[in-house]
Amino acid sequence: MPSYFSYIAKLDSPGFFWNDPPDEKFRHGNTPEKIIPQGFSLGLGFAPGVVDYWVKKTGLEGKQIDWGAWGMIVRKTDLEMIWKTEKEDRRWLDEKEWLKIWNEIELLQDDEKYLLVVAENP
């Protein structure tokens, strides 16, 4: 069974294709560079189902972006809503880690689009 790493990235990350990725990139390597969580981290703790769930719940745009990765276009307000809801649903055991990521989300630009990525660990 695969394990997953989830993170937040910039939509305009160099070498990443949201629309029409070249075949060789879609098979492997069409994942944008991580900006959150910063530094060493085990990620946000999401599996691929989080993308499908929030796309259906909110109408956000999401899809498979790589053979083993899924992404969803989000703004800061979307991330705040998702992060708060997931905290309540998951009952985070490590409040410090949750707060660290929350503070990183709060530093994002309000009007910029980002990508919530869930990818298989290699």
Residue 32 has pLDDT above 90, yes or no: yes
Mean pLDDT of the chain: 89
pLDDT digits (tens, 9 = 90+) for 46-80: 888 899 999 999 999 999 999 899 999 999 999 99
Q: Tell me whether residue 79 is exposed, middle or buried, using C-beta atoms within 10 angstroms of its C-beta: 0 to 12, 13 to 18, 19 or more.
A: buried
DSSP string, 85-121: HHHHHHT-S-HHHHHHHHHHHHTS-TT--EEEEEEE-
11 is in which domain, residue-wise? 4-120
DSSP H helix total and E strand total for the chain: 4, 5
Rounded to whole angstroms, the Cα distance separating 91 from 68 reads 27
What total of structural domains would you count in the chain?
1
